Each structure stands twice: as structure tokens, then as C-alpha cells.
Amino acid sequence: MKRFISFLFGLLIIIVVGSLALLTVDVPNWWKYSLLFQQYTWIVPTIWGLTALLLLIALGFILFAFWPSHKKRGLYLKYDDGEIYMNKKSIEKNVQHTVAKYDAVRQPSIDVTMYQTKKASYLDIAVDLLVAQTDNVQTLLTTMREDIKQNVEHFSELPVRDVSINVLDQKALKKRVI
């Protein structure tokens, strides 16, 4: 939808630019309006400057409308007997259930990035969380990282390239943990 609106907006700008450019060109129907505006010495350079600027913006919008998008919300996995669509939300829910096993973790925020290439697809997982306990945090994070990687690879049958866990500071966020 964004691309369609961008394309329409680019066409609208081209029409407006054409109308402005016709004010400075010798066209019989536009001649009386052109004479009225050309009495001012600054109007012609201003119109040509705005015309050039709007043409560049319109060209950018139109190119954006036809530029291919590589951002997908899920992955299509092809097998011998068919095709499976793996949704980003389902993998995030799986990570959410894996993180929920740990009692010391509070307010996890999960972001999954899915990459689909011709040779192999893979996942990157980022988890932001608060930790209630201050002892053995490193071991907790190591076991959590391995557990998340193992569960997601088992669930999705895709390799997990990176699992990054970011422990947030509660005092810096100024949020209460309930």
C-alpha cells in the first residue's frame, strides 16, 4: 500500500511540476498568466528551481514505488512434499515460552529477524530483559541463550545464527517490576 501511495504521489508531483513549467514556456493558453507572473524578476528562477526540486522528489517517489522489498514477515520453507510458511509471531511466541521458564527474568522484549536466502534461511534473536537476582547472572544468561537456541531450532527447523540477550538496568529505565 505504501508503494502505491508513493507512486500516486509521484505522479501528482509530476503533474504539478508540468503545470508550473508551462507557466514559463510559450504556450498560447497559458500566455496571459505567464505575462502576469513574469513581471516580477524573481519568479522565473524560482519556478525553475522549484520545478527541478519537485522533479527530483517525484523521481525518488516513483523509484521507491518500483524498488523491490526484501522485508518479509515470514519464511517460506520448501520441502519435497510441499511448502510451509513460518510466521515471525510464532517464533517470537516460542521464545516467549522458553524465557517464561526462568523465574528470575522480568519483562522480556523479544525481536526475531528472519533471513531467507536462496541457499539457506536462518534466524537472529534479540531479547531485552530485566533480571531480578544479581548472583549467577552470567550462568543464567548462558543457559538461557542455549535453551532459546535449542528450542527455536527444534521448533522451526531453521538454524539460529545469533541469540543476543541484553540485560536492562531497572534504575536507568525508571520502571517498576511487578
Domain ranges (residues) in the chain: 2-66, 74-173
Q: Is the pLDDT of residue 177 over 60?
A: no
pLDDT in tens, 97-143: 999 998 888 888 999 988 887 788 889 999 998 888 778 888 888 99
Average pLDDT over residues 27-50: 73
Residue entry with cell 528450542: 151
Predicted TM-score (pTM) of the model is 0.57
Chain mean pLDDT for the chain: 81
Give the up-direction half-sphere exposure of residue 114: CA atoms within 13 A in the CB hemisphere: 22
With a CB cutoff of 8 Å and minimum separation 6, the contacts of 17 are 51, 54, 55, 58
- CATH class of the domain comprising 74-173: alpha beta
All 3 cell numbers of residue 173? Answer: 529505565
CA distance 67 to 30: 37
Q: Cα separations (Å) of 75 from 9, 72, 116, 170?
A: 31, 7, 6, 35
Q: Is the pLDDT of residue 79 over 70?
A: yes
What pLDDT is attached to residue 174?
60
